[in-house]
Amino acid sequence: MSEIEIKNLSKTFEAEGHVVNALNNINLSIEKGDIFGIIGMSGAGKSTLVRSINFLEKPTDGQVFIDGVDLASLTEKELRKKRSDIGMIFQSFNLLEQRNVIDNVCFPLELAGQKKKEARIKARELLNTVGLAEKEKVYPSQLSGGQKQRVAIARALATNPSILLCDEATSALDPQTTESILNLIKEINERYNITVVIITHQMSVVTQICKRVAIIDNGVLVEEGPVEEIFDSPSSDAAKELIFEKKVRYSPVDALHAEKKIRIVFSENSAYEPVISNLILKYQSPVNILKADTRNVGGKAKGEMILGLPDGDELQDNIITSLKESGLTVTEVKEDV
C-alpha cells in the first residue's frame, strides 16, 4: 500500500466572481521512503497540491489517503493528530523571530504537550542532526538562509513525522547552499526512512535528489514516472519546457540557423564515443552544437546536447537513426525552446 494516495483530486477557488480550477482530477501514489518531486512552472498548482496532502487545503473533489486513512473522514481533532505525522518546510522558513534556535525547534513539542526538559533534549539531538548544535542560543536574524532552513528542517522533524513536505524549500537559496540542503534532506530520508515530497519549479532539484517525479501544468498532471526516464525522454510539452530550460536564451541558438533541432542524452555506455565527429565524417555535413551540458540525475552524470541538424528530411532522419543506434536518447526540440 502507498503511504500517500491521491485519487481524483480537484480544487477550485472563487476569485472576484470567477471560478479558478487550481487542480483537475489528480491521481498520484507515493511509496513509503520515496523522495518524490512535484514540479511545474509558477501558477501550475503544485503548492495547492502539496497543501492538499495534509489538508491545509481541503479538496473540492477527490480523496487523499495517508497510510490508508481518508483524511476527509477524520474529525478536526483526529486531523490535527494526523498532521503531526506530516512535517512541512517552506521557502520563507517561517521561523519565530522572537525565539532563539532551540526554542523554535521546541515549539511544536510544546504544542504537543511535551515536558520542557524532554523537548530540549529532543531539540538538541535534531540540531546536531542538521549541523547546528553550536547555534542553539542564536536568533533567526543572526542566521544565513541555509542555516534558517536547517532550523526549519529540525523543527519539522521534532514530532517524528513519517512524511516531510518541502514547498519550494530551496528557492530562496544560492546554488551551493541549495546543494547542501538537498544533501541533508537525502541523509534524513535515508536515516529515518521518511517519505519526502518536494515541490519545486527547478528541474535541477528534481534531478539531484528525487527518485520519481510528477509534472503539473495548469492544474493537470501531464507526466509522471522515474526521474531518469523523464529526463531522458520527456513526452509532455511542460516536461520539455522544464528540462530544456525554455526561458534561458542561448546566443548560439539565435546566431546559427537550424531547420531542425534535436536533444540527445548520453548514457554511460555512449559518453566516451566521439558522436558528433563521427556524424560529420559519415555524412559530410555540419552538425551544430547549440547547447551542451552535464547534469546529476539520481547520482549519475548525464550529458545532454541540443544539436542543429543540416537541411533535408532524409539526411535528418539518417542522422537521428545513427544517433539512436549509438545508444543515445533523441528528442525533437521545438523552435521556441
Q: What are the 10-residue block averages of pLDDT along the chain, 337 residues in total?
A: 88 83 93 94 88 92 94 92 90 90 93 89 94 93 93 94 92 88 93 93 89 93 92 87 61 56 75 73 83 78 83 86 84 68
Q: How many residues does the chain have?
A: 337
Task: For domain 4-241, give the fold.
Answer: Rossmann fold (3.40.50)
Residue 119 φ then ψ, to 5°: -65, -40
Can you name the residues that pair with 296 across neighbouring β-strands? 301
CB atoms within 10 A of CB 311: 11
The reply to whether 249-333 shares the fold of 4-241 is no
DSSP E strand stretches across the chain: 4-15, 18-30, 35-39, 61-66, 69-70, 86-90, 163-167, 195-200, 212-217, 220-226, 260-266, 288-297, 300-309, 329-333
Q: What is the pLDDT of residue 258?
A: 67
Residue 155: in which H helix or E strand, if any?
helix 145-157
CB 242 within 8 A of CB 41: yes
Pairwise CA distance, residues 238 & 225, whole Å: 14
Q: What is the pLDDT of residue 250?
A: 44
Within 8 A by CB and 6+ apart from 277, the residues are none
Strands 61-66 and 69-70: antiparallel
- pTM, two decimal places: 0.82
Q: What is the pLDDT of residue 273?
A: 67
**Domain residue ranges of the chain, discontinuous segments joined by +:** 4-241, 249-333
User: Is CATH 1.20.1740.10 the classification given to domain 249-333?
Assistant: no
Q: What is the pLDDT of residue 272?
A: 56
